[in-house]
Structure 1
Amino acid sequence: MSMVRFLVGLMFFAVSAVAHAQQTGGTLVIVPGYGEVKQANDEARATLMIEEQDKDKAAAASRVNLKMKQGTDIVRKEDPQAVLKTRGYYTYPVYADDPVQPRQTNRVRQPVSWRVGQYLEVTTPNLASLPKTISAAQRILALNSLHFGLTESTSKKLEEQRIAAAYRNLTDRIAAVAKAMGRNPSDAAIETVDFEASGAYAQDTAPAAKAMRAPMEVMQVEEPSFEPGETTLGMRVVGKVRFR
């Protein structure tokens, strides 16, 4: 008697499964996926700067030009692999802090001095000598910002791994969805795969450089310590799956 009940229950389960599969036949399912790879950073982008202030605008500009040339020559000597780019040359007046009297609102204020500065962007894959290079440059220039990332060649090499990881995650999710619907993963036919550039590999825009006084004296600077860290490259993918 128990065997009969078992067979009846088995038949009922089989019929229910077939009915459920028929109900989900032709269903279109949108399945998202995501994959990522991690890689140690192999490139540094440092921003060095110089700023001078003087009552004579020409004198301030002359010192900035001289020190920037000296600092650039130091970086080139310490790291021949570095790619250099000068940017952000600025000149603006500095006024006294004395308040303007109410009856003198139309008075043209005269600057008490001039502030002149310039930035030098250094991009290099030579991380081993980076502390030594920055230390040497800091004898004249100031370190304004430092960011680590991946070289273009490394990013290209990781592209295939990033795509494969995203697609593998998508197929795993499709199998999980099929199981939840009581279907066989082989019943799922992928109609569309949309690889979406998520932008996760792009480095954040560097913050705007803040003006700061550079040291007036040339002196020996101890080497700084840097930890390049790693970068995570991610990719999103969306699949349209139809069950037979």
Structure 2
Amino acid sequence: MTVLKTVAAAALVLGAQAVQAQTVPTTGTLVIVPANGEVRAPNDQAVTHFAIEEQDKDKAAAASRVNQKMKQGMEILKREDPNGKLKTQGYYSYAVYAEDRPQPVGTAPKKPVPVAWRVGQSVELTTTSLDKLPKTVAAAQKVLTLNSINFGLTPEATRKLDDQRIAVTYKALNERIASIASAMGRKTSDAVLETVDFEGSGNYAREALAAPAPMMMMRGKMADSADVAEPSFEPGETMLDMRLVGKVRFK
């Protein structure tokens, strides 16, 4: 009987301790709640870079061919994509020198003389006509070199996606607050949101607001005067994510 009484007493003590542990006061407790949100959208814009480069012993001849081909290339781009936006970039010209050969000992070094001139220019096409892009690129490649294609979102689509990102992340915060309140044995209505940091810039945040994913890039081949088969492109999608941190105090 004594043993049974001892066991029963110990059980009562443990039970009382468990009850006491379950009823730890949470009034006024400040809880730091991180949340993450992620949204995706198909890319609706392409930025393409075309270029032309010529080399000739005569600088004027090289520049003349570059100017003529760039004009032809831009006319093709305007014809194939009337709604596209063109911007010329990076006109350059520089001398090409022969490889230096060892000079006999005691001979004064010779002044380098150009053996040719290299001239080039590039043009950028920004377009939302992704369905026409393969045909446009193939037509332009008859004259110009395709250097790269970057797929991404238009400013309008980016703003819309950012609105969705904020909404999704704030919803995730509320869901986490509800889960934490339940775990603490409290009602969600007892929680008061004191601070919301949409940049996650506090010391408790692991990282700042994630930047938009970089645009996908594709490299092209050198230009050819012959007909060029249409290339295949997959615009893909852009993902934006966000981290926010909320400070919640329980009444």
Please say whether Structure 1 and Structure 2 have the same fold, judged by a TM-score greater than 0.5: yes
CA root-mean-square deviation: 3.1
Partner of 1:242: 249
Give me the whole-angstrom Cα distance separating, in 2, the residues matched to 1:105 and 1:47: 45
Match of 1:165 in 2: 168
Quote the residue 2:58 is aligned against.
Answer: 56
Equivalent residue number for residue 150 of structure 1? 153
Deviations 1:106-127 (A, max 9, x none): 4321111111111111110000
Contact 1:93–1:115 (CA under 8 A) maintained in structure 2: yes
* Correspondences of 1:189-200 after superposition (within 5 Å): 189-196=192-199, 198-200=209-211
Specify the code of the residue in structure 1 equivalent to 2:128. P
Q: What do the CA deviations read for 1:174-199 (whole angstroms, capped 9, x no partner)? A: 23333444544333221011112724
8 Å contact from structure 1 (residues 50, 213) kept in 2: no
Distance between the aligned counterparts of 1:205 and 1:199, measured in 2?
Answer: 17
1:119-165: CA deviation from partner (whole Å, max 9, x where unpaired)? 11111000000000000000000100011011111112222211110
Please tell me whether residue 175 in structure 1 is matched to residue 168 in structure 2. Answer: no
Choose the corresponding residue for 1:228, options 235, 245, 251.
Answer: 235
The CA distance in 1 between the partners of 2:196 and 2:64, in whole Å, is 59
Taking the aligned partners of 1:106 and 1:28, their CA distance within structure 2 comes to 78
Q: Once the 2 structures are TM-superposed, how far is the Cα of residue 226 of structure 1 from its aligned partner?
A: 0.3
Q: Hey, what's the Cα distance between the residues in 2 that align with 1:205 and 1:227?
A: 10
Q: Is the CA contact 2:210–2:243 (under 8 Å) kept in the aligned structure 1?
A: no
Taking the TM superposition and a 5 Å limit, the aligned residue runs for 1:1-244 are: 14-18=19-23, 20=24, 22=25, 24-101=26-103, 106-196=109-199, 198-201=209-212, 203=214, 214-215=222-223, 218-244=225-251
Q: What are the Cα deviations for residues 186-227 of structure 1, in whole angstroms up to 9, with x where unaligned?
A: 3322101111272432535979x9xx9954x62110100001
- Structure 2: gaps of 5 or more residues: 1-8, 200-207
AA aligned to 1:239 is G
Percent of aligned positions that are identical: 54
- Of residues 64-73 and 156-165 in structure 1, the stretch that sits farther from structure 2 once superposed is 156-165
Structure 1: stretches of 5+ with no match in the other structure: none
Question: Matches of 2:56 and 2:141 in 1, distance apart?
Answer: 21
Distance 1:71 1:162 in 2: 40
1:49, 1:214 within 8 Å by CA — same for their partners in 2?
A: no
* Equivalent pairs, count: 234
SS in 2 for 1:145: strand
Residue identity opposite 1:33 in structure 2: A
TM-score (norm 1): 0.83
The answer (yes or no) to whether the contact 1:92–1:114 under 8 Å persists in 2 is yes
CA contact under 8 A between 1:200 and 1:232: conserved in structure 2? no
Q: Distance in 1 between matches of 2:236 and 2:217?
A: 17
Instruction: Say whether the 8 Å CA contact 2:54–2:120 is kept in structure 1.
Output: yes
TM-score when normalising by structure 2: 0.81
CA change 1:138–1:126 in 2 (3 A) is same
Given that 1:96 and 1:111 are in contact with CA atoms closer than 8 Å, whether structure 2 keeps it comes out as: yes
Go from structure 1 to structure 2 and tell me whether the alpha carbon gap of 1:92 and 1:16 turns closer, same or farther (over 3 Å shift).
same
Question: Structure 1 residues 72 and 104, CA, compared in 2 at 3 Å: closer, same or farther?
Answer: farther
